[in-house]
Structure 1
Amino acid sequence: MQPLTIVSLIVASLLLFACWALSPKTLKNFPPGPPKLPIIGNIHQLKSSTPHRVLRSLAKKYGPIMYLQLGQVSTVVVSTPRLAREILKINDICFDDRPTSTASQIFFYNAQDIGWAPCGEYWRQMKKICRLELLSAKKIRSFSSIREEEVSNIIKVFESKAGTPVNFTEMTVEMVNNVICKATLGYSYKDQATLIELLLDVLKTLSAFNLASYYPRLQFLNVILGKKAKWLKMHKKLDGILEDVLKEHRARRRNNNHQEDLVDVLLRVKETGDMDFKLTDEHVKAVVLDMLAAGTDASSTTLEWAMAELMRNPRIMTRAQAEVRSVVKGDTITETDVQSLHYLKLIVKETLRLHAPTPLLVPRECRHDINVGGYDIPAKTKIIVSAWACGTDPDSWEDAESFIPERFENCPINYMGADFEFIPFGAGRRICPGITFGLSMVEYPLANFLYHFDWMLPNGLQPHELDITEITGISTSLKHHLKIVPIPKVLSKVR
């Protein structure tokens, strides 16, 4: 360890002790919670590969609304649909802000994106643009040729590797990234691999443990330990790529002979000036980065979990394949066909319930003092809603931790934010605006995988032996990549 690092840690420890010693020890009527250690509070209890499971275990002991002291950050965790409704619907205006960090401020142009921007007129207008222009049903349909091309490409790769194990995880990540980059940036973008690598680095940075995030008074540690310089360097590279993207799109727009992608939409809105504020290039780059970052991981993770559950449940796999093969006529699946695949949609729903891409919703921050569930929550308290705990709540779901798509048959519950026992995309004003786009990147590829192939586990592995150990990073995914064997449909009939 470098001498500067050692000195920094000693100074930080002394300051942390001073902060702890001077902090008030008498609290309001806060929710109950686990005992705290001096200085660090409950931080040690979240140092887990699956924090959503740790929090649910603690909630079983201390209650569905629970108080944690994470360093200097007061945090409240809610774990039931009733309390999620209080936070995300009844008191949504009080809880619609995001707690930001140095890293999110740097990467997202001082929170000028949609995900991290504070609620206000700018956020409302940008969300409206996102809903009406960027991610409308019409715009998403216009990207169908991109989805079809990329799914066709991965089908060809699977066919070339017929009878041998493929790394399903890696291949679907690449496919999803290709679609998102092309829909956002256009076909001709030349530095996609570099961009994807930077995006993954940004997402890992945002989800990584950072001591200064729990001690706002110690932000100087990010400078002393070199983290801020590293983040600024990453941002400079990313900004350079996005600048090139804008220049390329402005040149192409002058020719006016190409399909409009998401960058084109933002540039068009910027040029028309139909907003109450001046839209700048930084605003455009921040929102583009939002689109890329939000879609980079969630869809591929959901595809991975859906296929893993199908491999573990042969009965469900057989029924799903029978459905898609009875509906589809010919060798090509259309997106119209997908709308008729009732059972496949139940499988996707059940995957999202049991394996939400973000089992702990992006944190919120309390605007003012408020009472929730009979407990006092002061202003600036960080709020964590456990979508996974709501989705596996035994009072809402029978046999809650089993994969049973049939539970959604004739069931009105959906993921659009009105049913708080099922909120994989969040709820309220901060609900994910990309639900339709994300689902299109799960349902259409999955239908193709089930139609064109039968699937086997490698090396004689039995369904119940498939390792589904979780790990939480950018999202909660399989700890070990899913490796399975594709058997083309024609070949499987011959066998």
Structure 2
Amino acid sequence: MAWIWTILALLLLAYILLWKRTNNNNKRLPPGPRGFPIFGSLHLLGEFPHRDLHRLAKQYGPIMHIRLGLIPTIVVSSPKAAELFLKTHDLVFASRPPHEAAKHISYNQKSMAFAEYGSYWRDVRKMCTLELLSNVKINSFRAMRKEEVGLFIDSLRKSARDRVAVDLSVKVSSLSADMSCRMVFGKKFADSEFDERGFKAVIQEGMQLSAAPNLGDYIPPIASLDLQGLTKKMKKVGKVFDDFFEKIIDEHAQSKDEDKNKDFVDVMLGFLGSEESEYRIERSNIKAIILDMLSASIDTASTTIDWAISELIKNPNIMKKVQEELENTVGMKRTVEETDLESLDYLNMVVKETLRLHPAGPLLIPHASTEDCTINGFHIPKKAHIIINAWAIGRDPDAWTDAEKFSPERFVGSNIDVRGRDLQLIPFGSGRRGCPGIQLGLTVVRLVLAQLVHCFDWELPNGMSPADLDMTEEFGLTVPRAKHLLAIPTYRLHK
């Protein structure tokens, strides 16, 4: 019993110190719910935190203070507020808070996504931007993407001949995983080569653990107790990744093939242990970045494609407009090439609208303040966590007309893009911590979606009406469909 009283005393002391720090000199925090001692307002967050925070922001405003456990948290829910945090005061909020999942899965926060702001993060960001995600490197894998998408279309054609429904969610996810593995590792892997649960399943488990509400993140003094059993699961998943990545790195280090197109592991190994390298990376850094690349490229791309084709099936008139554009631009005798994508204006509007309504990461990755700051007259304390609710921003009625409606036409004549310049649409974040893989992600999403719509007509099984399609979501680090999308393809092309 003594340890329980010790923990309670430590929690009470932490709460008192937090209260003194956040209320120092009567500085005015943003409005928000009061919460309970120690636990704060954790009870206000349910199965879908992005929706709960959106509901609270309607009551307290677009810059809201909410204490989650012992952690002072600022929730940003409008484009104007996001601009203050991600542009005007970008440097103050460029860091990341401590995160239990990143500690145990992402090599003590050595990944580009979760690393604290500083010289190490700047080196890793520069390396990824210039060496792994440059246009030259992305284009070097164009033939690979064409090959994988071709295999994908062939498998769907067989289902079309048999008139059977396909699980598009699984198909798209597998395609995304295969392309990602070939870019990162140089080859695809069967599930049996990774873990008995399968490659994609373990990636998804890691993403779910990273997003799971963890008392250790909100009440740090009790993190070591692992009351929810999450740390044990994190360590287990981290071990699976680590063993696999060690094997991959060893294979690449021993390879003598000088003629192959260098994958991401090859590129990073070129900087390992070199005194001439400007990047400070070691073996653990390479593994953390590999995990970054896989998580970002597999889950976010497949989730976005899944939502996009769902919206098109649910809105047949919009699907028809996309198909007409493809018929006029590409014709009916061939599939879509990557060189066609920039000419497909309406398709690109569909992708933007999908990212507005269904951002893959609705709350982005939290930021952390590195110093005290005043925004709109509100005190933002040092070490506060900053949550940018991209989902709420995409539905802000002051920024969007008929915000809940899927309407690609809203982008006609508009210069709004998704690259972080326009704060009303930030599915990839903005500022210093904006996602550097935007171009690769958009290329994959647009290419696969274009092929699905150009090559096939789609109908729902069992006579289901498009209006009845279930669009329920499932919360995680990304937000996929809760139920897989099943649909029957009919081949359209004259080839």
TM-score tier, shorter chain, comes to over 0.9
Number of residues of Structure 1 aligned to a counterpart in Structure 2: 484
Counting only pairs closer than 5 Å after superposition, residues 399-414 of structure 1 correspond to structure 2 as 399-414=402-417
Aligned-partner SS, 2:271: helix
Contact 1:297 1:474 (8 Å CA) reproduced: no
- Matches of 1:257 and 1:327, distance apart in 2: 36
Q: 259-268 or 201-210: which moved more?
A: 201-210
Contact 1:273 1:279 (8 Å CA) reproduced: no
Per-residue deviation, 1:153: 1.8
- Matches of 2:313 and 2:222, distance apart in 1: 48
Corresponding position: 1:43 with 2:42: yes
CA 1:403–1:274: 2 relative to 1, 3 Å: farther
Q: 83-92 or 332-341: which moved more?
A: 332-341
Per-residue deviation, 1:322: 1.1
- Matches of 1:158 and 1:11, distance apart in 2: 61
Q: Which residue of 1 aligns with 2:177?
A: 177
Q: Which residue of 1 aligns with 2:208?
A: 204
CA 1:188–1:38: 2 relative to 1, 3 Å: closer
CA 1:104–1:94: 2 relative to 1, 3 Å: same
Q: 13-22 or 388-397: which moved more?
A: 13-22
Aligned-partner SS, 1:472: coil
Counting only pairs closer than 5 Å after superposition, residues 101-140 of structure 1 correspond to structure 2 as 101-140=99-138
- Matches of 2:473 and 2:285, distance apart in 1: 36
CA 1:476–1:234: 2 relative to 1, 3 Å: closer
CA displacement 1:375-405 (0-9 Å, x = unmatched): 0011011110111222111111111111111
- Matches of 2:229 and 2:404, distance apart in 1: 43
Per-residue deviation, 1:192: 5.0
Q: Which residue of 2 aligns with 1:433?
A: 436
Aligned-partner SS, 2:343: coil
Q: Which residue of 1 aligns with 2:221?
A: 217
- Matches of 2:324 and 2:276, distance apart in 1: 50
CA displacement 1:265-311 (0-9 Å, x = unmatched): 11123365444564211111111111112222111110011011101
Of the three residues 415, 426, 432, the one matched with 2:418 is 415
Counting only pairs closer than 5 Å after superposition, residues 313-352 of structure 1 correspond to structure 2 as 313-329=315-331, 330-352=333-355
One-letter code aligned to 1:378: P
CA 1:218–1:425: 2 relative to 1, 3 Å: same
Counting only pairs closer than 5 Å after superposition, residues 66-465 of structure 1 correspond to structure 2 as 66-162=64-160, 163-187=163-187, 189=189, 191=193, 194-222=198-226, 227-252=230-255, 254-270=256-272, 272-276=274-278, 278-329=280-331, 330-465=333-468
CA 1:277–1:320: 2 relative to 1, 3 Å: closer
- Matches of 2:310 and 2:394, distance apart in 1: 19
CA displacement 1:404-430 (0-9 Å, x = unmatched): 111111111111111101111000000
- Matches of 1:274 and 1:386, distance apart in 2: 42
TM-score, normalised on structure 1?
Answer: 0.92
Aligned-partner SS, 1:113: coil
- Identity among equivalent positions (%) equals 39
CA displacement 1:244-272 (0-9 Å, x = unmatched): 111111222x2312111111111123365
CA displacement 1:462-491 (0-9 Å, x = unmatched): 222111112212312221111111111159
CA 1:259–1:375: 2 relative to 1, 3 Å: same
One-letter code aligned to 2:54: R
Contact 1:415 1:425 (8 Å CA) reproduced: yes
Contact 2:62 2:77 (8 Å CA) reproduced: yes
Contact 2:353 2:406 (8 Å CA) reproduced: yes
Contact 2:176 2:298 (8 Å CA) reproduced: yes
One-letter code aligned to 1:196: K
- Matches of 1:227 and 1:355, distance apart in 2: 27
- Matches of 1:119 and 1:469, distance apart in 2: 36
- Matches of 2:175 and 2:159, distance apart in 1: 16
Contact 1:169 1:482 (8 Å CA) reproduced: yes
One-letter code aligned to 1:181: C
Aligned-partner SS, 2:73: strand
Per-residue deviation, 1:8: 8.6
- Matches of 2:6 and 2:158, distance apart in 1: 59
One-letter code aligned to 1:289: L
CA 1:311–1:11: 2 relative to 1, 3 Å: farther
Q: 399-408 or 422-431: which moved more?
A: 399-408
- Matches of 2:253 and 2:18, distance apart in 1: 54
- Matches of 2:4 and 2:13, distance apart in 1: 14
One-letter code aligned to 1:352: L
CA 1:315–1:368: 2 relative to 1, 3 Å: same
- Matches of 1:226 and 1:398, distance apart in 2: 44
Q: Which residue of 2 aligns with 1:3?
A: none
Aligned-partner SS, 2:272: helix
- Matches of 1:249 and 1:22, distance apart in 2: 50
CA 1:131–1:22: 2 relative to 1, 3 Å: closer
- Matches of 1:244 and 1:23, distance apart in 2: 45
- Matches of 2:217 and 2:250, distance apart in 1: 36
Contact 1:346 1:406 (8 Å CA) reproduced: yes
Per-residue deviation, 1:10: 8.7
Per-residue deviation, 1:144: 1.5
Q: 390-399 or 104-113: which moved more?
A: 104-113
Contact 2:127 2:279 (8 Å CA) reproduced: no
CA 1:9–1:339: 2 relative to 1, 3 Å: farther
Per-residue deviation, 1:12: 5.8
- Matches of 1:131 and 1:273, distance apart in 2: 21
TM-score, normalised on structure 2?
Answer: 0.92
Contact 1:358 1:476 (8 Å CA) reproduced: yes
Of the three residues 461, 465, 469, the one matched with 1:466 is 469
Identify unmatched segments of 5+ residues in structure 1.
1-5
